[in-house]
Amino acid sequence: MNKSFHLILDEHKPIVEQMSQLVPVLSDGNLKEFRTYVDSFFYPLPKADPYQIIEVNAFCKLYIYTPGNQSPKIKIPLLYHTHGGGFVSAKASQFSKKNQDWANEFGVIVASVEYRLAPESPYPAALVDCFEGIKYLYEHADELLIDKERISIIGESAGGGMAATLAIYVRDKKPELKIKNQFLFSPMLDYQNTRDFGPKKNEYLGEYGWTFESNSYGWSAYKGNQTISDDELGYFSAAHARDFTNLPCTYILIGGLDLFFEESLEYTRQLNRAGVPVSLEVVAGGVHGFEDFPTPVGLSLKQNSVNCMKELL
């Protein structure tokens, strides 16, 4: 038994044990196996048909969800979703039920972006696709009945990291597009998070759900064989931005045993020091992805997040 198992929420332990036996550790040799596992995880979940699919260009596709799957009558807020998957797996369409639920719950348009995956398409491909998607929605806001003043972004895991870098990129490259909020669930923020994480080393993190080995592969695949300049590093890995000012109001949800716990704490500090309104919710005993576990605690936490988002949207 690993060092942190006794700290996991009791009702999550059976799920975590099963996952630890099924989820392959990411590497060049088993990327195909990992992607197959991810697809099999989503396959039995309920689906929702998008209200509309927009092909922005050859690489960027947007799945649009509206309240009740009906055309809005007036302009309403936009929630822009960047999906998780370690930068190397998953598809926007696999999150359809969650996105439709958000549209119904919040009375917003949800747009989930399909972006290119690594290692086939390393940085900045995914960021460019996400940027092109949100830029298209902003520039076509009138016809799509989007309230330009109420655009928020949301993402989980690598999608949370992508949302964070997108907020930085939009601030710098298209400042007229003012993102109101960013909702980051278990976000993948720091490419330097390895087993030897310097002063942030924590021996209880990363044993379940998403490991150091998988994290190292995900970041390496996303980086590819290139050197990223200091000026651009924050667009690759949000924790390394040179400037944290003028970023959106931020909500971060993280489990106390998640590999990304320490980097989420530090990102919260950086935003706070820069005068950005930020809320951090830490769940003791939560491993990576705990917020989607179908347990009473998972459902309760999901409702807490929903309540927080309702207040901000």
pLDDT digits (tens, 9 = 90+) for 84-137: 999 999 999 999 999 999 999 999 999 999 999 999 999 999 999 999 999 999
pLDDT digits (tens, 9 = 90+) for 58-94: 999 999 999 999 999 999 999 999 999 999 999 999 9
- The residue extents of the domains of the chain are 5-312
In this prediction, residue 189 has a pLDDT band, given cuts at 50, 70 and 90, of very high
Over residues 159-180, mean pLDDT: 99
DSSP letters for the chain: --TTGGGS-GGGHHHHHHHHHHSPPP-GGGHHHHHHHHHHHHTTS-----SEEEE-SSS-EEEEE-GGGS--SS-EEEEEEE--STTTS--GGGGHHHHHHHHHHHT-EEEEEE-PPTTTS-TTHHHHHHHHHHHHHHHTHHHHTEEEEEEEEEEETHHHHHHHHHHHHHHHH-TTS-EEEEEEES----TT-SS--GGG--TTSSSSSS-HHHHHHHHHHHH-S----TTTHHHH-GGG-S--TTPPEEEEEEETTSTTHHHHHHHHHHHHHTT--EEEEEETT--TTGGGSSSHHHHHHHHHHHHHHHHH-
Q: What is the pTM of this model?
A: 0.96
pLDDT > 70? residue 198: no
pLDDT digits (tens, 9 = 90+) for 140-150: 999 999 999 99
pLDDT > 60? residue 199: no
Q: What is the pLDDT of residue 296?
A: 84
pLDDT digits (tens, 9 = 90+) for 255-286: 999 999 999 999 999 999 999 999 999 999 99
Task: Please say whether the structural domain 5-312 has been given the CATH code 3.40.50.1820.
Answer: yes
